[in-house]
């Protein structure tokens, strides 16, 4: 009877192979959760993480906010200059979004030109600040070199907050922010909508906006 001999590996070779497998698994996991165009998290990750953060809010008592963001008139770039130009715009916008976030925030691409930002342990004022930073970055001269072909790019934002004792479901939370985004679009685009209040200033929040937002329990004293 002939016995097969199995190949043997040294401890160093085994360790090297284990490290290779771990890198491959990490890469595959990244592909499952990452948007291939922008490098941001994808829609699948968004729904998973939103569940996690609302559960964390109920457990810790610290509110969570959600930003829904959509480019204004993005279709004109795809239709006029092609999808390659549109993808370049999305890549640059992804960079602006990352630069505007805190280390604990999650930026996701959830549709063609629609993005979602989950902000754990945050108040509405925090998400207003992030939205304003993204708007400011987009409005700088030369923000989209060789991509927008002279078109002025802007975005609309819808914001919602999830409180520890909120009766909202996760889906309700998402729909609330998405409804605010719709209101920002309907009111003229290029603005931020939260709790029925719309912010169109690129600079500091106006006194009228502060008064309206304070009724929602939002502290904008640091704006």
Instruction: List all residues 6 or more positions away from 190 whose beta carbon is below 8 Å from its beta carbon.
Output: 72, 135, 154, 155, 156, 200
**For the whole model, what pTM was predicted?**
0.76
45 falls within a domain: yes
Question: Which one is predicted more confidently, 215 or 56?
Answer: 56
Say which residues have a Cβ less than 8 Å from residue 106's Cβ, sequence separation at least 6. 41, 45, 46, 49, 117, 118
Give the pLDDT confidence score for residue 141 in this predicted structure.
72
pLDDT over 70 at 4, yes or no: no
Q: In total, how many domains does the chain have? A: 1
Burial class of residue 46 in the structure, from the number of CB atoms within 10 Å of its CB (0-12 exposed, 13-18 middle, 19+ buried): buried
Provide the percentage of residues in the chain whose pLDDT is more than 70. Answer: 72
Q: Please, what sign has the CA dihedral across residues 10, 14, 20, 21? A: positive
Look at residue 77 in the predicted model and tell me its pLDDT.
84
Query: Do the domain assignments include residue 123?
Result: yes
Residue 66 lies in a domain: yes
Which segment of 129-138, 148-157, 170-179 scores lowest on mean pLDDT? 148-157
**Among 35, 72, 105, 113, which one carries the catalytic annotation?**
113
Q: What is the CA radius of gyration of the chain?
A: 22
State both tokens at 223: 């704006």
pLDDT score of 74: 87
Residue 6 lies in a domain: no
* CATH code assigned at 164: 3.30.70.270
Q: Round to whole Å and give the CA distance between 114 and 144.
A: 18
Contact 131, 192 (CB under 8 A): yes
What is the residue range of 61's domain? 37-214
Name the phi and psi angles at 117, rounded to 5.
-125, 115
Does some domain include residue 193?
yes
113 catalytic? Reply is yes
Least Cα distance to 73 among 113, 107, 100, 110 occurs for: 113
**CA separation, residue 201 to residues 67, 75, 135, 206, 209 (Å):** 18, 25, 10, 8, 10
Q: How confident is the model at residue 220 (pLDDT cuts 50, 70, 90)?
A: very low
């Amino acid at each position: 009877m002939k016995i097969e001999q199995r190949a043997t590996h040294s401890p160093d070779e085994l360790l090297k192979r284990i490290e290779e497998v771990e890198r491959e698994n990490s890469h595959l996991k990244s592909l499952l959760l990452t948007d291939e165009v922008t490098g941001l998290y994808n829609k699948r990750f968004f729904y998973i993480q939103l569940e996690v953060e609302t559960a964390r809010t109920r457990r810790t008592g610290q509110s969570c906010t959600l930003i829904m963001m959509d480019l204004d008139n993005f279709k004109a770039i795809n239709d006029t200059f092609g999808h390659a130009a549109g993808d370049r715009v999305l890549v640059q916008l992804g960079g602006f979004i990352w630069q505007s976030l805190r280390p604990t925030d999650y930026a996701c691409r959830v549709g063609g030109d629609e993005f979602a930002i989950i902000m754990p342990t945050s108040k509405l004022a925090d998400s207003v600040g992030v939205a304003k930073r993204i708007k400011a970055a987009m409005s700088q001269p030369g923000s989209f070199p060789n991509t927008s072909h002279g078109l002025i790019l802007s975005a609309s934002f819808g914001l919602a907050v999830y409180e520890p004792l909120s009766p909202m479901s996760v889906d309700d939370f998402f729909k609330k922010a998405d409804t605010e985004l719709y209101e920002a679009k309907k009111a003229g685009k290029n603005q931020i909508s939260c709790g029925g209040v719309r912010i169109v200033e690129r600079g500091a929040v106006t006194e009228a906006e502060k008064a309206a937002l304070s009724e929602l329990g939002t502290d904008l004293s640091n704006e």
